[in-house]
Amino acid sequence: MRKKTILGLCAGVVVLLVAAAVCLYVQFKGNAVGREHELFISSRASYGMLTDSLLPAIRHHAAFRCYARRLGLEQGFKPGHYVLRPGMSVLQIVRMLKLGLQTPVPVTLQNVRTPAQLARRLSRQLDADSTAWMEVLTSPKMAQEVGFDSVTLFSMFIPDTYEFYWTVSPQDFVLRMKREYDRFWTPERDARRKRSGLSRLEVMTLASIVYEETRQTDEMPRIAGVYINRLRRGMPLQADPTVKYAMQDFGLRRILYKHLKYPSPYNTYINKGLPPSPICMPGKSAIEAVLDFEEHDYLFFCARPTFDGYHNFARTLGEHNRNARAYSAELNRRKIK
């Protein structure tokens, strides 16, 4: 009887040990994530903020705290964007945070008119705040490092969607965008650029005006051709979007005579040639339109009174004035001021 009792006790201990081992395995190496969850840990976050965001998204909290303590996570976690995927274990999660194995985020650059707008847009997509972005985007030192100045740096950003680590510093972001700019300006694009006689900066600046004039991509090369013709003849561009930019009034629906006299180097009614820098971040379609501008003899264009997004083109001022009167009459009829 004594021998059977001892064997029974041993068997019970073995069962308990196996159960404990299975429990520990499940706690530490088993599935701790029920559904995919994005985790954003700011460089300004405390360990408490990390756990407040993380723990509701995972199971096995005690195992997490135990293993996090063992790896010293509280003293050395890496900020970033992390994706918790179903099937991940506590061990994988803690190691991911400790080593900074973050997942890149898509960053889209488009429809931006000023460095301040770009700073706000980036602060909503990446970790750094808008103040930090603005400091770098207007820094003469940063601009000089990538071959621009603080006014023309804005022309370096090519609109597209890029992948970045969420915690990328504004300085590293600008350096990466310089590499993207150099990659964009292929020998083939530079060869096409020479047809216009414009520099890269001038192409980007003219493209920004074209982009603000129309979103109709099939019409962009013709509008670009009008401005090339005016530049070659020494005529002022007289581009309405440059007046809006000069006044920083992008909601202005009707350009009046009083607006044309607004003093600014960006106002192409009172200054010949192109503005000092782009008036927006032009879409790639507008950049390509300037590179492939249409050869013609038009010198003027005016929005159609049909308000279909297209324009009427003219070779003479008299013809243009007739088009402008028709458009103005429609503005009046629609009570647009």
The first and second tokens of residue 213, run together, are 């004039």
Beta-carbon contacts of 48 under 8 Å, excluding residues fewer than 6 positions away, are: none
- Mean pLDDT by runs of 10 across the 337 residues of the chain is 57 52 57 89 92 90 90 92 92 93 95 94 96 96 95 95 96 97 96 94 97 95 97 96 93 86 95 96 96 96 90 94 89 78
DSSP codes of every residue in 45-56: --HHHHHHHHGG
Q: What is the pLDDT of residue 23?
A: 57
The first and second tokens of residue 161, run together, are 């969607």
Domains, the chain, ordered by start: 30-103 (3.30.1490.480), 105-184 (no CATH), 187-296 (no CATH)
Whole-number Å distance between alpha carbons of 237 and 224? 11
| First and final C-alpha spacing in the chain | 105
Q: What is the pLDDT of residue 14?
A: 53
**What's at 119, amino acid-wise?**
A
The first and second tokens of residue 331, run together, are 């503005």
Whole-number Å distance between alpha carbons of 157 and 155? 6
**pTM value?**
0.86
Burial class (CB in 10 A: 0-12, 13-18, 19+), 283: buried
DSSP codes of every residue in 203-264: HHHHHHHHHHH---TTTHHHHHHHHHHHHHTT-----HHHHHHHHT-TT--S--HHHHT---
Q: What is the pLDDT of residue 27?
A: 62
- Spatial CA neighbour of 270 closest among 281, 261, 258: 261
Whole-number Å distance between alpha carbons of 312 and 251? 23
Which phi and psi angles does 290 have, rounded to 5°? -70, -40
Q: What is the pLDDT of residue 172?
A: 97
